[in-house]
Chains A and B, each alone.
Chain A
Amino acid sequence: MSDIKPQSAQDVCDALADAKRDGVRVEIRGGGSKALIGAPRDVRVISLAAITGVVDYDPAELVLTVRAGTPLAEIEALVASERQMLAFEPFDHGPIFGEASGKATIGGVIAAGVAGSGRVTAGSARDHLLGFTAVSGRAETFVAGGKVVKNVTGFDLSKLFAGSWGRLGAITELTVKVLPRPRVSATLAIEGLDCRASCSAMASALGSHAEVSAAARHPDGTTLFRVTGFEPSVEARCAMLPQLLGGHGAMERIDPTVADALWRDAGTGVSLHGEVLWCLHVPPGRTPEIIEKIEPLGARWSLDWGGGRIWAAVDSDAAPVRAIAQAAGGQAMLIRAPSEMRSTLSAHHPRPSGVAALEARVRRAFDPDSLFETERFLGEETTDAD
């Protein structure tokens, strides 16, 4: 089916009213960098890629209002020019699917709830979305939240829309919190720790007053610690860490130009080759036992968020990974897989029936006619509210 590319927020509203009238299901798309996530489907795509532009940016207020289709890369360049950043460290999924980066839009990363290694201390997309304008499945434009960093007026719909995967409405404009970019970012590394030792070192570091802002384990076995801030503070904390973690082995400071690539590989799963790529969110204390169970399946893996996020690539028989994650109190999202597998295994980890039913009722509250219920997210679209 063909794509529709609205040129204005009003167009988005009209396009959804059309779909509603026609009884057609639609997929909201940003850059389409994550289009390969979820089951194959043939639907009308409404692309937000032309709804672009910065509406308001006042660095001193720490807020940025933009239209949803604005490329992530453009926003990152803009805030970098003011020595600020999006502290949830969104990343572009294009490369995971062997595509060029640069397609991801701010609306897409927010709607997909994407966050990088800094998430463990700085929060995710959900924690940085302050407010938005969207068109619901009723083809009604509404606003939620606000444009200031502190606000509890009304239900916090921003949390709900971050990570909603385009299933509640099309975000046309959004306000995010921005934060100062740290002056200095240092990376310390310990080589050769097995999973258990690595997790223990990361837990000690994250629980220490050295204020580590991220901790990950690279697929090659290097455990990484990030220390950010003003120079005197970074130096003091870098001096502290080897003492705190002495028992785990020698610590080495990594050259910043090398460090970026290491963090990208550890934090986004991009360097894990294999047909099937999973992203597991788990209680970090259970990570060693999960790794022990997925290694025999041939999994290549990396850890992020102090062990709370596992990227795992496997070649075949993917189903056990999800069961292993669940048995350990965690969840597994199917990021990359052949289309037959995506037709049978849902991208998102299934929820218990009570929560699934509540989610379905919430979706109907925004989308009464199931406009956004494509076959992309298997097993969810049939759960209908009463």
Chain B
Amino acid sequence: MSITMPVPDIATLQKREAIIAAMRAIVPGDGVIDEIDALRPYESDGLTAYRQPPMLVVLPDTVEQVSAVLRWCHSEGVKVVPRGSGTSLSGGALPLADAVLLGMGKFKKVIEIDYDERIAIVQPGVTNLAITQAVEGRGFYYAPDPSSQIACSIGGNVAENSGGVHCLKYGLTTNNVLGVELVLMDGEIVRLGGRHLDPAGLDLLGVVVGSEGLLGVVTEVTVRILPKPQTARAILLGFPDAERAGACVAQVIAEGIIPAGMEMMDKPAIHAAEAFVKVGYPLDVGALLIVELDGPAAECDHLIEEIDRIAAENGALTRRVSNNEQERLAFWAGRKAAFPAVGRLAPDYYCMDGTIPRRRLPDVLRRMEELSTHYGLGVANVFHAGDGNLHPLILYDANQPGQLDKAEEFGNDILRLCVEVGGVLTGEHGVGVEKRDLMPEMFSETDLNQQQRLKCAFDPLLLLNPGKVFPRLHRCAELGRVHVHGGQLRFPDIPRF
């Protein structure tokens, strides 16, 4: 792996026994894990190319314990890496050799559901899907739906600002969270937001969402829940090429339709998915679109017809409408299985996550093909077509010397390409360690320093999840230093002191 993590602090490693004892005093019972074998399961998250067993794992189950753990680590200068379910695809929960891995898996309670206010208050270890399961009996659901929803925790979703296939219409995590309880690195417990919209003061909740575990540890989350749409229908559309599929997407939006989901797959992804789940995807097309509409039946029926017409106008070769729930799920089965399906084409695959302006799609796919030839590695694409979020899956074999490095190089080139065409490095998976060193592609030194000053406001000793997001962590004192600005006096006629 090409990314270097911070050098472990020898002094910390030497006092490991004392740290374990201190943690045991705070978290009794089986909440502290220190045996080497038992640490193994925690050595990586969903980005398995990166592995590092933690110094030890602490699994608290009360906010007081979280606070005490952080306060102790703060006073002793010990680093802490928060972890939810460990499904991050960017290495956000990758342990450090000299850090406590703080697992939030025991925070599993649904604390309160209020259907009149349409909110659920849950602990961070509750899985994304479990929130929906807790409220679906009353006809509600939690909208953001990452494909990992059976496993990933809401705390991890908050930290990563996760999305899902429905986020074009219903937003990412950030648009669906009303409040959090957060423990700062020094142990202080604060509540940001709550049961009502738009609280006074700076929107600190807004920056905590998506902060990748760098600002604080989330110990409670208040989310909005929505009434489940009455019906959902999908239409499966095959096009000769991505160009025409892209034109169809643009026209759908230009005509004022925001579908619940709009997913595109390229030829390699279609073939892989069909071979895997055999749902009857057309194999003679260059690009496949799945468009889902939800709402009252009258709306779905009307919009399905509109989209069918738009697809025909844009040269669709296949147009199939789901007529029942079984058919709708079959359309999705291939898309949902796209990752494992592509995984069968090669021993390993590497999932990327850039966003581009949609109009640049044909161009980007063409250049990706050139890169594929250059690196001698295959690539399949699934794409959240509505919002321009690309997931290229790079195929490689980690057992072949040099292939992992090549796959990473290829991935980096794809992300550089995304930025070059006006897009961004990550649409939903986060920067983590994976894209950390690419941050300068998108942000100048000044931009990054400004972001890091925010980190310093929350965690001035830089103990929480270091080595992630920022290519270089400057000491806070260094960043705070006041620059002496040159420059001219531009408005000399203003009265001065």
Contact = CB atoms under 8 A, between A and B. Distances in A.
Say if A and B assemble together: yes
A192 to B, nearest CB: 21
Interface residue range, chain A: 35 or more
Looking at chain B's contact residues, is the secondary structure mostly helix, strand, loop, or mixed?
A: loop
A156 B174 contact: yes
Contact of A152 (B428, B448, B453, B494): B428
A159 B174 contact: yes
B204 to A, nearest CB: 6
Given A2-B495, A60-B358, A180-B256, A359 B202 contact: yes
Interface string A151-178: 1111111111011100110000000000
Contacts of B487: 14, 17, 139
A160 B435 CA distance: 23
B195 interface: yes
A285 interface: yes
B254 A157 contact: no
B424 A308 contact: no
Contacts of B302: 230-233
B7 interface: no
A149 B386 CA distance: 9
A297 interface: no
Contact of B297 (A123, A150, A236, A284): A236
Contacts of A4: 491, 494
A148 interface: yes
Contacts of B258: 179-180
Interface in B360-407: 384, 387-389
Given A209-B229, A229-B299, A156 B198 contact: no
Interface string B407-447: 00000000000000011111111110001000100111011
A340 to B, nearest CB: 22
Given A152-B429, A209-B229, A285 B114 contact: yes
Contacts of A282: 196
Contacts, number: 306
A351 B388 contact: no
B198 A163 contact: yes
B325 interface: no
Contact of B495 (A1, A120, A354, A362): A1
A150 B384 contact: yes
Contacts of B241: none
Given A235-B298, A283-B117, A331-B196, A154 B422 contact: no
A14 B490 contact: yes
Given A152-B161, A160-B202, A330 B196 contact: yes
B127 to A, nearest CB: 20
B256 A348 contact: no
A147 interface: yes
Given A126-B203, A368-B480, A150 B358 contact: no
A281 B196 CA distance: 6
B204 A208 contact: no
Contacts of A194: none
A181 B458 CA distance: 40
Contact of A148 (B175, B254, B356, B488): B356
Interface in A64-118: 83, 113, 115
A124 B171 CA distance: 12
A324 interface: no
A110 to B, nearest CB: 12
Interface in A197-228: 200, 203, 206-211
A295 interface: no
A154 B485 contact: no
B190 to A, nearest CB: 5
A280 B372 CA distance: 56
Contact of B494 (A44, A160, A351): A44
B296 A233 contact: yes
13 contacts: A4-B494, A17-B487, A18-B494, A127-B174, A142-B447, A148-B422, A150-B163, A150-B355, A151-B426, A153-B439, A329-B196, A361-B457, A366-B450
| Top 10 A-B residue pairs of the complex, sorted by shortest distance between their CB atoms | A159-B206, A233-B299, A180-B256, A236-B298, A14-B490, A365-B453, A283-B195, A361-B457, A349-B200, A150-B387
Given A1-B495, A155-B207, 17 more contacts: A4-B491, A15-B491, A140-B483, A149-B168, A152-B172, A153-B424, A153-B435, A155-B454, A156-B209, A163-B203, A180-B255, A180-B257, A229-B295, A232-B302, A235-B298, A236-B296, A359-B201
